[in-house]
Amino acid sequence: MNFLDQLIAPLYTMPLGEVAFWITLENIAIFAATLVIGHVLVKLFADNRNAEPPPPIIRLEVILAASCVLLNSLITFIGAVLWRADIIRLRPESSLLGVLVDFVILFMAMDFAMYVFHRVAHHPLLYPIIHDTHHRFENPRPLTLFVLNPFETLGFGALWLLVIAIYSASFTGMILYLTMNVAFGLVGHLGVEPAPRRWLNLPIIRYISTSTFHAEHHADRYHNFGFYTVIWDRLFGTLSPDYDTDFTTAASG
Ligand SMILES: [Zn+2]
Ligand SMILES: [Zn+2]
């Protein structure tokens, strides 16, 4: 059992009220840390803007972000209950290779599933109900990552629970994936481009999404539906034709 497995072991038998308390605290801590790191990155890369600076924060953004954190806590809680009921099984894993394999599987499976989910969310019948809320904020800031319609937060959460119910991953692999999920979400909503200009010339790396990639989606909702990679957009012809130019203009180095 590694450190992370030991950390969650008490949650298996703890009263559910206490489980809910720790999970909510964890989600609030992730939210706060994300905003602090985002603030630092925006300051550090202030000269590399890929979107107009956002207008002052409005009350709706704060309410939606708070509801997103609470719903994320609910999804984590449901995950914990499913784990205690043996519906979600965590695979004991001590090798680094095993953890990395878990990470790559979760990363690619979720990237594809979220690409499909995101394109469906842009269907004219669903868009006003579940996704328009996020697109009301055309010039993103770190907080925008959490400014989601509650249906959308629950939809992504259900997708995640479904994937880990099907694929029995190690807890360390899951944490690695979830950390990267928040990191990619944050980078996509910085409004500045931290990646160096040579990014698009590097083999494999150039398929990894950038801040400009998602900033373009906020400016042009008909392109760039992917999250972690540009693979699905390239494959299905939805990559913005301006991606290379916009990225090169924003990036430095
Ligand atoms: Zn966004
Ligand atoms: Zn969208």
Number of domains in the chain: 1
Within the chain, residue ranges assigned H as helices are 3-8, 16-44, 59-84, 96-121, 132-135, 150-166, 171-188, 211-219, 231-235, 243-250
For the cut 70, the answer to whether the pLDDT of residue 132 exceeds it is yes
The answer to whether 194 and 41 are in contact (CB under 8 A) is yes
Which one of the ligands is nearest to 191 CA?
1
On whether residue 191 sits in a domain, the answer given is no
Q: Could you tell me the distance, in angstroms and rounded to a whole number, from the CA of residue 223 to the centre of ligand 2? A: 9
Which one of the ligands is nearest to 146 CA?
1
Q: Could you tell me the distance, in angstroms and rounded to a whole number, from the CA of residue 226 to the centre of ligand 2? A: 9
The answer to whether 253 and 198 are in contact (CB under 8 A) is yes
Q: Quote the domain boundaries for residue 75.
A: 3-179
On whether residue 118 sits in a domain, the answer given is yes
On whether residue 39 sits in a domain, the answer given is yes
On whether residue 206 sits in a domain, the answer given is no
Q: Could you tell me the distance, in angstroms and rounded to a whole number, from the CA of residue 189 to the centre of ligand 1? A: 6
- The structure's pTM equals 0.94
Which one of the ligands is nearest to 186 CA?
1
- Tell me the three state secondary structure of residue 196: strand
The answer to whether 213 and 243 are in contact (CB under 8 A) is yes
Which one of the ligands is nearest to 209 CA?
1
On whether residue 163 sits in a domain, the answer given is yes
pLDDT digits (tens, 9 = 90+) for 175-229: 999 999 999 999 999 999 999 999 999 999 999 999 999 999 999 999 999 999 9
